[in-house]
Structure 1
Amino acid sequence: MDSKANDCNAIASFYGVKGKNLQHQYKDFLSNFKIWDQKPHAKQWLLFAQNIGKRLSIDETSLSNGELYTILTNKTAKGRKGAIVAMIAGTKAETVISIIEKIPIKRRNLVTEITLDMAGNMGLIAKKCFPNATRVTDRFHVQKLATEALQEIRIKYRWQAIDHENEAIEKAKKNKKKFEPTILSNGDTIKQLLARSRYILYKNKSKWSEKQTERAKLLFELYPDIEKAYGLAQDLRNVFENTTDKIYALTRLAKWHEKVNQAEFKSFNTISRTIQNHYQTILNYFDNRSTNASAESFNAKIKAFRSQFRGVRNIEFFLFRLTNIYA
């Protein structure tokens, strides 16, 4: 039973009525859901033109069963009342553009900056709907690519370690011997070392605990490629965290590209090309250091709101309650 049902049951019992009856009364009469002006098209799109501001974020979110919605939010609202500008079913650029263009161009021309990920559809939507806005690629999406490339290398070695252990176990069985895995100085087997190093590689060295530092030292000694890839991921993070000047950032990124070329990691070369293809919008980050964090935070709020209902049974009513709070 979800929290709404619990609340209704508690109130209903106080007045001596059935909880389900009170829920239906709330939905059908007390909540104004039936006379909601956006109800006829709520499943397809919602617009709140009055919430548009100078700085927006655009992202996608899932409501139920993997169904994606494109969501446009006002950064100034900081995830509270007035945050939602638009919610549109799907992520197809043409569909989203046609809905956002229902907002008068005069209002859309007020937008000076919009943050987004590197998806081509998001870039097209931002360009077509907000022609006066500077497009800013979210730095965390860029950093995430580097982290995923690093983890890919770790996982590759982990599968190799599992294969080697299986071969050793089979060999021991054939020779009627007991298999004894190699135990490292910190108590890990090699397979365990690679598995337990996952979270270490997300962190900066300065945030490692004593045990994590010991584990990282062993990992890097056994797998120099992981250490090299970790250095590349940290170097990219440092560009964003420790650079304030746009021109200097361009220089530092050029040096990072050179390091990537020398390292000869296929996944990092792919990231390097991706960054080069989005150079302008990535460098725009250094103007105001704007990110899509507000959109990601708002997505988390939607998921938390959804979890209170143990899923979304009635999408229209869910959207009605969501927009009452955030639009």
Structure 2
Amino acid sequence: MVVDHDSGRLVWAAPGRDKATLAVFFDALGEQRCAQITHVSADGADWISSVVTDRCPNAVRCADPFHVVRWATDALDEVRRQAWNEARGAVTQRRAGRSTGQAKALKGARYALWKNPENLTSRQQTKLAWIATTDPRLHRAYLLTEGLRPIFQLPLAEAAEALDVWVGWARRCRIPAFIDLQRRIAKHRTSILAAIEHGLSNGRIRAVNTKIRPITRIAFGFATPELLIALAMLSLGGHPPVLPGRT
């Protein structure tokens, strides 16, 4: 799906999620109009970035902040699962049922680790305090994740400095998932800072996605996705056709 940042209208949609699908949109738009596009926001998928770079040479590419933070929460959950598996393995080795309950506690810690600090319940705060005491590596991964969130609220100059500090911190953290993440963030540094500078995100796309969900229910039983797309364009495209009987 392609959505207009200014109007919030659904501009175009097609089945598929790859370079060839996206290229169809730019083919339809034409070289002259592609050259007039000034800003494009998207997630960090390389296939989107490469097509946009090739077809929209004048466009500023902005990495969606939601997806960048999502990369960090995915890395955090990878560390949590690893800690859980290690704790479960330790319990298995004992073979006598003398578990301290650490594996069970880690399995239930996901929402405490993912939730914004200001929204934590007292029970979740206690869970985080327990993690800080019993698993320093997982707690360090949590701090790295939370350290990334506020960068997107800073002015550009401060955000650039804070992002570089965060990358350095993650590079030295000795947690493989976050070492990989800092490489990814360093690779997309320009588009991340562009999103902060221009205040762009994929919020428009997520809003359109929400509106398309009830349209999808209406489209149950349709033979092809093109019929669903036609309904979505009629409802969200902003250019309703003149219907028979209307003047």
TM bracket, shorter-chain basis? 0.7 to 0.9
The superposition leaves residues 160-204 of structure 1 with CA deviations (integer Å, 9 ceiling, x where unpaired) of 222233343xx33xxxxxx3543xxxxxx3222111110111123
Q: Aligned Cα RMSD in Å?
A: 2.1
- 1:77 equivalent in alignment to 2:3: no
1: distance between equivalents of 2:90 and 2:123? Answer: 26
- Which residue number corresponds to residue 151 of structure 1? 77
- 1:226 equivalent in alignment to 2:138: yes
1: distance between equivalents of 2:225 and 2:20? Answer: 23
The superposition leaves residues 209-257 of structure 1 with CA deviations (integer Å, 9 ceiling, x where unpaired) of 111111111122111111111111111112112x112x32221111112
- 1:325 equivalent in alignment to 2:235: yes
Partner letter of residue 244 of structure 1? P
The superposition leaves residues 239-288 of structure 1 with CA deviations (integer Å, 9 ceiling, x where unpaired) of 112x112x322211111122112211111111111111122111101212
Q: Mind listing any 5+ residue stretches in structure 1 that lack a counterpart?
A: 1-70, 173-178, 183-188
**Cα distance 1:157–1:125, how it changes in 2: closer, same or farther (>3 A)?**
same
Partner letter of residue 155 of structure 2? T
- 1:254 equivalent in alignment to 2:164: yes
The SS at the match of 1:110 is coil
Q: Mind listing any 5+ residue stretches in structure 2 that lack a counterpart?
A: 238-247
Which is higher, the Rg of structure 1 or of structure 2? 1
**Cα distance 1:236–1:102, how it changes in 2: closer, same or farther (>3 A)?**
same
- Which residue number corresponds to residue 201 of structure 1? 113
Output aligned runs, 1:85-96, within 5 Å.
85-96=11-22
Aligned match of 1:288 in 195, 198, 214? 198
Conserved? CA contact 1:200–1:208, under 8 Å: yes
Partner letter of residue 146 of structure 1? A
Partner letter of residue 103 of structure 2? K
Conserved? CA contact 2:42–2:63, under 8 Å: yes
Conserved? CA contact 2:4–2:11, under 8 Å: yes
Deviation at 1:112, TM superposition (A): 1.7
The SS at the match of 2:172 is helix
The SS at the match of 2:159 is helix
Conserved? CA contact 1:193–1:219, under 8 Å: no
2: distance between equivalents of 1:181 and 1:248? Answer: 47
Q: Which has the higher strand share?
A: 1
Aligned match of 1:139 in 59, 65, 77? 65
Q: Which moved more, 1:205-214 or 1:95-104?
A: 95-104
Partner letter of residue 108 of structure 1? C
Output aligned runs, 1:158-169, within 5 Å.
158-168=84-94
**Cα distance 1:190–1:307, how it changes in 2: closer, same or farther (>3 A)?**
farther
Aligned residues: 237
Aligned match of 1:130 in 45, 51, 56? 56
**Cα distance 1:104–1:230, how it changes in 2: closer, same or farther (>3 A)?**
same
